[in-house]
Amino acid sequence: MTAAAYSADGYVPDDVSAAFRPQRLDMVDCALVVLFLVGLYSGIALQVSEKVPLTCAPSGLAGLWMLWRRRNEIRQSHLAGLLLVELIFVGSILSAQDITFLGKRSTGLLQLTYSMVIAYGMFLTLVHAERRQVAAILLSFCLFIIVGCALETWTSLRDVSDYVRAKLYNADYVYDADLRDQILYGKVRPKLFTSEPSAVTFAYTHYAAVWLAVSPWRYKYAVYASLLGLAIIVLPGPTLMLMLLLAIPYLTFLAGGSRRTAPARMLGAVVISALIVLIAYVAGKTLFAERLNELQAGKDASFFYRFTGPMLVAFDMFKHHPWAGAGLTGEPYIAERVLSVYMNSASFESAWRITKVADTLTNFFWLHWIYLGAVWGVIVIVALSLWLRMLGAASILYCWAIWTVLGQASGSYVGPKTWAVLLIGAATTILVTRDTAQAAPLASAPAGPLLRPMRPRLRLVEGRT
Determine the pLDDT at residue 427: 97
At 292, the pLDDT band (50, 70, 90 cuts) reads low
Cβ neighbour number for residue 48 with a 10 Å cutoff: 13
Residues 121-176: tens digit of each pLDDT: 999 999 999 999 999 999 999 999 999 999 999 988 988 988 888 888 876 656 65
- Burial pattern 214-226, b for ≥16 Cβ within 10 A else e, equals bbeeeebeebbee
The whole-number average pLDDT for the span 413-429 is 96
Say which range, 409-418, 423-432, 438-447, has the weakest mean pLDDT. Answer: 438-447
The whole-number average pLDDT for the span 229-258 is 88
Question: Are residues 380 and 388 in contact, defined by beta-carbon separation less than 8 angstroms?
Answer: no
Cβ neighbour number for residue 47 with a 10 Å cutoff: 11
Determine the pLDDT at residue 387: 97
Long-range contact pairs involving 234-237 (C-beta distance under 8 Å, separation at least 24) = 234/146, 234/149, 234/150, 234/153, 234/190, 235/145, 235/146, 235/149, 235/189, 235/190, 235/197, 235/200, 235/201, 235/204, 236/185, 236/189, 236/287, 236/288, 237/185, 237/189, 237/197, 237/198, 237/201, 237/288
Say which range, 6-15, 134-143, 245-254, 418-427, has the weakest mean pLDDT. Answer: 6-15
Cβ neighbour number for residue 292 with a 10 Å cutoff: 16
Residues 48-102: tens digit of each pLDDT: 777 778 899 999 999 999 999 999 999 999 999 999 999 999 999 999 998 899 9
At 17, the pLDDT band (50, 70, 90 cuts) reads very low
Residues 372-392: tens digit of each pLDDT: 999 999 999 999 999 999 999
The whole-number average pLDDT for the span 289-301 is 67
Highest mean pLDDT among 177-181, 214-218, 259-263, 274-278: 214-218
Determine the pLDDT at residue 5: 44
∠ Cα 76 81 87 (to 5°)? 120
Closest CA to 194 of 211, 175, 181: 175
| Cβ-based neighbours of 419, under 8 Å, separated by 6 or more | 112, 115, 116, 119
Coil vs helix vs strand at 261: coil
Say which range, 104-108, 253-257, 260-264, 294-298, has the weakest mean pLDDT. Answer: 294-298
Determine the pLDDT at residue 257: 67
Cβ neighbour number for residue 111 with a 10 Å cutoff: 22
Say which range, 181-185, 264-268, 345-349, 443-447, has the weakest mean pLDDT. Answer: 443-447
Let me know how long the chain is. Answer: 465
Closest CA to 109 of 424, 358, 371: 371
d(CA 421, CA 122): 11
Alpha helix (H) ranges present in 155-241? Answer: 157-168, 178-185, 197-214, 220-234
d(CA 59, CA 48): 15
Determine the pLDDT at residue 238: 81
Read off the DSSP letter of residue 49: S
Whether residue 425 is predicted with pLDDT greater than 70 in this model: the reply is yes
Determine the pLDDT at residue 260: 66
Closest CA to 358 of 173, 85, 125, 181: 173
